[in-house]
Amino acid sequence: MIPFIDLKAQWKHLEAPIRERMDTVLAHGRFINGPEVAELEGELAKFAGTAHCVSCSSGTDALLLGLMAAGVGPGDAVFTTPFTFIATAEVISLLGATPVFVDIDPATFNLDPAALARAIDALAANDTSRHPLPQGSAGLTPKAVIPVDLFGLPADYDAINALAKRHNLFVLEDAAQGFGGEYKGRRAGALGHVGATSFFPAKPLGCYGDGGAVLTDDENLANIMRSLRVHGQGGNKYDNVRVGLNARLDTLQAAVLLAKLPEFSKELSARRRVAAIYGEALYDVVSVPAVPEGLASAWAQYSILVPGHGRDAVIAKLREAGVPSMIYYPKPLHLQEAYADLGYGVGDFPASEQAAHDIMSLPMHPYMEDAQAMEITAAVRAFLA
Ligand SMILES: *Cc1c(COP(=O)(O)O)cnc(C)c1O
């Protein structure tokens, strides 16, 4: 079976520097807040082009730190897309705020700014005829928006940031899949007030466990998130100035990332090469992902649409041919049981629902040979052409 993501090939390629970095940590023994953590934060900020980086224990905690730093809480509305991983909305609910879902642009799978504008107006007017709103949304304060860089492609930040400015919304970029992506000369993670990313092993830049980071140019927010990450510490861990979390990144994970980071740009090019092979070989039989002018995807996933009712049959045929595929995401968040109390229903976000019905992701990793990429596209074509 062809691997969906080949971490073993990456390990083979980077074993020496990863072992060396990990051995250094084992020798100095500072497993929490060792020197690798600050070193990594410096490198990540440099890569993303932000003034500050605060590493943390996961992408979910990165999102949580961003929202906590913005002061999001009960009575607040946070706009986001229902076509994403549950973590994006979960953090809103964990803080007692209310997710207000906004549909995607079907061409990019990312938050549709025109729909966001309608949702903001509908919430202000408490008028569900303009845009679907969650139950009990009357009187909520519009506070923040979380655009997601889905599959590695940055959302439409010019339009979203302009709307956010007009309506005084905090912009938290969910760059869990986007790190390495680009938007008009700027890097993903640097596109909102705070960018949150994940180093979960399967993400474009992954460690060997859970990990994440927040990126920002705002020194005040960076300091608040640094404090929140260690139980809301003030002068020291036993001086607590706010209610926080235990959300640090392990030194060993920082060491793994430091060993991987020098190869990351090359890996991003390799992902682009695979995406180009897929696109050229498949554009006439399925809908292939579009990258708008001036943007670059980190290609966390390569997702195609099989319109009609063919998607599940294609997945089964590919499996027979030894080609794995995944569905990101089979059920949009507004239809999840966990969010039943928001009162949304089928038909509220048609573009997200259509994508969930038609989408599938092909194997994608930087160590794929051209021949294997061709073999995968041949398997898709054999069934569809
Ligand atoms: C992976 C992911 C997260 C959460 O990251 P973890 O490190 O797994 O907590 C959040 N948002 C999106 C879009 C993701 O893909």
User: 161 Cβ partners below 8 Å, 6+ apart?
Assistant: 171, 191, 192
* Rounded-to-integer distance, Cα 43 and Cα 133, Å: 41
| The pLDDT value given to residue 200 | 98
Q: E strands along the chain, which residues?
A: 52-56, 76-80, 98-101, 141-146, 170-174, 182-183, 186-187, 194-198, 212-216, 295-296, 302-305, 359-362
359 neighbors 303 (Cβ within 8 angstroms): yes
176 neighbors 66 (Cβ within 8 angstroms): no
| The pLDDT value given to residue 307 | 87
User: Are β-strands 302-305 and 359-362 bridged in parallel, bridged antiparallel, or unpaired?
Assistant: antiparallel
| The pLDDT value given to residue 1 | 86
* Rounded-to-integer distance, Cα 184 and Cα 105, Å: 19
| The pLDDT value given to residue 308 | 85
User: Are β-strands 141-146 and 76-80 bridged in parallel, bridged antiparallel, or unpaired?
Assistant: parallel
pTM: 0.98
Question: Ligand 1: distance of its center to the CA of 145 in Å?
Answer: 16
Question: Ligand 1: distance of its center to the CA of 278 in Å?
Answer: 25
Closest ligand 1 atom to Cα of 177: 15
Closest ligand 1 atom to Cα of 63: 10
For residue 183, say if its preceding peptide bond is cis, omega within 30 degrees of 0. no
Closest ligand 1 atom to Cα of 199: 7
| The pLDDT value given to residue 31 | 98
User: Ligand 1: which residue has its CA nearest to atom 2?
Assistant: 176
Mutate to test the pocket of ligand 1, among 83, 198, 253 (most ligand atoms within 8 A of CB): 198
| The pLDDT value given to residue 309 | 77
- Residue 80: CB atoms within 10 A of its CB come to 25
**Helix ranges restricted to H, 167-250:** 219-229
Mutate to test the pocket of ligand 1, among 88, 91, 153, 326 (most ligand atoms within 8 A of CB): 88
Note down pLDDT in tens along the chain; length 385 residues: 899 999 999 999 999 999 999 999 999 999 999 999 999 999 999 999 999 999 999 999 999 999 999 999 999 999 999 999 999 999 999 999 999 999 999 999 999 999 999 999 999 999 999 999 999 999 999 999 999 999 999 999 999 999 999 999 999 999 999 999 999 999 999 999 999 999 999 999 999 999 999 999 999 999 999 999 999 999 888 999 999 999 999 999 999 999 999 999 999 999 999 999 999 999 999 999 999 999 999 999 999 999 887 999 999 999 999 999 999 999 999 999 999 999 999 999 999 999 999 999 999 999 999 999 999 999 999 988 7
Question: Ligand 1: distance of its center to the CA of 86 in Å?
Answer: 8
* Rounded-to-integer distance, Cα 115 and Cα 121, Å: 10
| The pLDDT value given to residue 236 | 85
User: Ligand 1: which residue has its CA nearest to atom 6?
Assistant: 59
| The pLDDT value given to residue 90 | 98
Convert the pLDDT of each residue in 242-290 to its tens digit.
999 999 999 999 999 999 999 999 999 999 999 999 999 999 999 999 9
